Structure 1
Amino acid sequence: MEKGRFSSIRYIFIRSHLYGLFLTTVTLLSLLLTIHVLFSPSWLTINSIFLFMGLYIVLATIISLYTGFKSSSTMKQRLDAMSVLISQYANGNYETTIHFMENDELSRIANELNELGAKLQNQVKSLQRMADEKSDFAKTAHKAAVIEERQRIARDLHDAVSQQLFALTMMAEAATKQFDNKPELAKQQIEDVSVAALQAQTEMRALLLHLRPVHLSGDSLKQGIEKLIVEIERKNSIDFKLVIEDELSLNDTIEEHVFRIIQESISNILRHANASKVDLTITKRARELFLHIRDNGKGFDVTKNATRNTSYGLKTMRERSEELGGTFIVRSNYDEGTYIDIRIPC
């Protein structure tokens, strides 16, 4: 930290002034000593040379420190402003601009950054316009979407619930055969049946989330999410904490995408997280929609050990966010839960 501090632009300016002072001191001292040796004027003695050089070094050092600090202040402020502008762009706020009065290279870079922000903003509008067009197209192709969704759910039922039910059948038959001869073993197998049945039930409830209507059916985003959470809390032992603004004005496309993202995230939590608490926050800051989803589940390794189904759910949420020109960030570690942050310009 200390090393980074002394490598900042301000200390670079100060070091450059001190370096210039050093070169000037060496040059001036060499010149005075050369005159003393070659011409030996009476007024130029060794003592006067070193007295003059000492006073010069002290005074020039003070001036170098002051001018280096002063001249770097404006430069540092302009660089800090450009850094803040880039951070705003990274967070999806493309309307921020900066303007410098000076006519130099930094002003040219600032103007180019402003142009970049305008182009990114136009791209976001284009993405959202395409999302609107895609939404209209999706409504006309509803039948095809229903068929595709049914096929996907059928695959999930076969891959997960169907196999679990088959395993339940096998374990139940084994427990029945062992009931008279080995009651302790039969008891253990029945307990395994109970655990597997609970897993199958949880998997089925998660899949049923996808059978809900794609659209909010006339409800606002807040009403749709509240109904969804009430239904899930009634059937599962999960405590939801919902924070959403009352007057949240969004267009239909963004509302539908956000609702489907929340459906997908809750489905992942039910199927994989084994969580007991879920925090869901939706706020609108300036012209940006912020969505935060957090659970206290078992977590997973985002880069290495995400399961195939979990990865598919996260991929779907990321794609929906990016279709709206937004950013999608997921953080998770084992035994630390999962955090999802989504920012959507609106």
Structure 2
Amino acid sequence: MKEMRSIRFWFLQSFLMTALFSSLFFFIGLQIYLSIVKNPSINVATTFWLLIYVFIILIIVGSYFGLKGSYLIKGRLGDILIYVSTLRSGKFSERIVTYEKDEIGLITDELNQLAKYIQEQVHSMQRLADEKSMLAQSAHAAAVMEERQRIARDLHDAVSQQLFALGMMSSAALRMFEIDLDKAKQQLHEIANIAAKAQMEMRALLLHLRPIQLSEDSLCDGVIKLIHELKNKTNIEFNASVDEVTHLSKSAEEHLFRIIQEALSNTLRHADASKVKLILTEKENYIYLFISDNGKGFDWQKAKIASYGLKTMRERCEEVGGIFKIRSKKNEGTYIDIRIPRKEN
């Protein structure tokens, strides 16, 4: 990679080279004058002193205008660079102020038009997501939810029987204390661990197959209900801060709620976490969602290729014009950051 040089360096270089060549041409002109005129008013020594004087003056003037010009150009280009970074972060509603109607001014105008176009596309994506959600609800929602509930009931009955059998095995193991105390205790611990894991797996699967519906509830109420249910059925400690979100379409609320369900389900099934933190808030023009746990984590570079759950969450987020970020490292937990532009009236 080539070494990057400041634009100020190029400005100074060009002005100093101009000063050098101007001085050189001035000196050549004096020498031509001395060679042509028979009785010149100056001599060769004087031309050297004039050369030095003119060179110093041009160096000072060139440095001043070079620094001044480079400062102005660099400042305007710096504003453009900051604005491009702002657009890359997803803040398409921001605009850059155009000061001059020159080439750089034309670039800023084009960037503003590009940001406006992208913002319109995001709104179009949100409208399309709303229409898609309405069509899906009218055509498939009832049948899909009915089938999920049926499967959930069957699964619940089967797993409950297994858990009951584990309980019976635990009772039988307790009676083994008189025969082999150490073996009985070991068997009890194993049975208890298996039962706890089976219950956790069942609840996570039920969260997939029989999800809580928002119905007429707001996103805030739905998330609170979901967390309350998980608190009652698991040993995980939840630290939740859920604000009322008012600038989201019904479709975007549904997508965001499904993302939360998927993330919490993955935590129950895979993370072995004891603490979960969830923050849902609305600031300025965006809806922010943050979910983290203190579980065992995973290599997200590999998981993002193979995991259907991660792919689903990312697709849901992008369908409503959002930005999905996930960070995880083994034995250091998992962190999910989501930002969705709010719906304008």
TM-score range, shorter chain: 0.7 to 0.9
Residue segments in structure 2 that go unaligned for 5+ positions in a row:
none
Does residue 338 of the first structure (1) align with residue 334 of the second (2)?
Answer: yes
Give the fraction of aligned pairs with identical amino acids, expressed as a percent: 43
Q: 1:125 aligns with which of 117, 123, 126?
A: 123
Q: 1:292 aligns with which of 285, 290, 293?
A: 290
Question: In 2 relative to 1, CA 204–17 (structure 1 residues): closer, same or farther, beyond 3 Å?
Answer: farther
Q: Residues of 2 paired with 1:307 and 1:238: CA distance?
A: 28
Partner secondary structure for residue 302 of structure 2: coil
TM-score, reference length from structure 2 = 0.78
Does residue 104 of the first structure (1) align with residue 102 of the second (2)?
Answer: yes
Deviations 1:228-247 (A, max 9, x none): 11222233233322233346
Q: CA RMSD in A?
A: 3.9
Q: Residues of 2 paired with 1:237 and 1:193: CA distance?
A: 18
Map residues 68-107 of structure 1 onto 2, 5 A cutoff. 68-107=66-105
**Contact conserved, 2:242 with 2:281, CA < 8 A, in 1?**
yes
Deviations 1:284-317 (A, max 9, x none): 2332212222222222222125694xx2211111
Map residues 54-73 of structure 1 onto 2, 5 A cutoff. 54-73=52-71
Deviations 1:116-157 (A, max 9, x none): 222212211221111111111122111342367569979xx7
Specify the code of the residue in structure 2 equivalent to 1:45: V
Residue segments in structure 1 that go unaligned for 5+ positions in a row:
none
Partner secondary structure for residue 300 of structure 2: coil
Q: Residues of 2 paired with 1:192 and 1:61: CA distance?
A: 86
Deviations 1:171-213 (A, max 9, x none): 99xx99x999987567556544443333322222222222444
1:319 CA displacement:
0.9
Question: In 2 relative to 1, CA 29–209 (structure 1 residues): closer, same or farther, beyond 3 Å?
Answer: farther
Does residue 114 of the first structure (1) align with residue 133 of the second (2)?
Answer: no
- 1:43 corresponds in structure 2 to 42
Partner secondary structure for residue 195 of structure 1: helix
Partner secondary structure for residue 43 of structure 1: coil
Q: Residues of 2 paired with 1:120 and 1:214: CA distance?
A: 34
Does residue 316 of the first structure (1) align with residue 312 of the second (2)?
Answer: yes
**Contact conserved, 2:130 with 2:249, CA < 8 A, in 1?**
no
Q: Residues of 2 paired with 1:22 and 1:186: CA distance?
A: 96
- 1:136 corresponds in structure 2 to 134
Q: 1:251 aligns with which of 249, 252, 257?
A: 249
Q: Residues of 1 paired with 2:309 and 2:260: CA distance?
A: 11
- 1:266 corresponds in structure 2 to 264
Specify the code of the residue in structure 2 equivalent to 1:331: R
Q: Residues of 1 paired with 2:79 and 2:99: CA distance?
A: 13
Q: Residues of 1 paired with 2:76 and 2:220: CA distance?
A: 42
Which protein shows a greater Rg? 2
Q: Residues of 2 paired with 1:153 and 1:105: CA distance?
A: 64
**Contact conserved, 2:212 with 2:222, CA < 8 A, in 1?**
no
- Would you say how many aligned residue pairs link Structure 1 and Structure 2? 329
Structure 1 range deviating more: 244-253 or 323-332: 244-253
Partner secondary structure for residue 73 of structure 1: helix
TM-score, reference length from structure 1 = 0.78
**Contact conserved, 2:145 with 2:210, CA < 8 A, in 1?**
no
Partner secondary structure for residue 210 of structure 1: helix
Structure 1 range deviating more: 11-20 or 215-224: 11-20
Partner secondary structure for residue 321 of structure 2: coil
**Contact conserved, 1:214 with 1:260, CA < 8 A, in 2?**
no
Specify the code of the residue in structure 2 equivalent to 1:342: I
- 2:144 corresponds in structure 1 to 145
Partner secondary structure for residue 335 of structure 1: coil
Question: In 2 relative to 1, CA 213–297 (structure 1 residues): closer, same or farther, beyond 3 Å?
Answer: closer
Map residues 215-254 of structure 1 onto 2, 5 A cutoff. 215-246=213-244, 248-254=246-252
Q: Residues of 2 paired with 1:31 and 1:188: CA distance?
A: 105
Question: In 2 relative to 1, CA 179–27 (structure 1 residues): closer, same or farther, beyond 3 Å?
Answer: farther
Q: Residues of 2 paired with 1:319 and 1:229: CA distance?
A: 23
Q: Residues of 1 paired with 2:248 and 2:184: CA distance?
A: 57
Q: Residues of 2 paired with 1:216 and 1:326: CA distance?
A: 20
Question: In 2 relative to 1, CA 144–336 (structure 1 residues): closer, same or farther, beyond 3 Å?
Answer: same
Deviations 1:3-41 (A, max 9, x none): 76xx23333323332343344445555665677789896
Q: 2:323 aligns with which of 316, 327, 333?
A: 327
Q: Residues of 2 paired with 1:34 and 1:193: CA distance?
A: 107
Partner secondary structure for residue 98 of structure 1: coil
Partner secondary structure for residue 289 of structure 1: strand
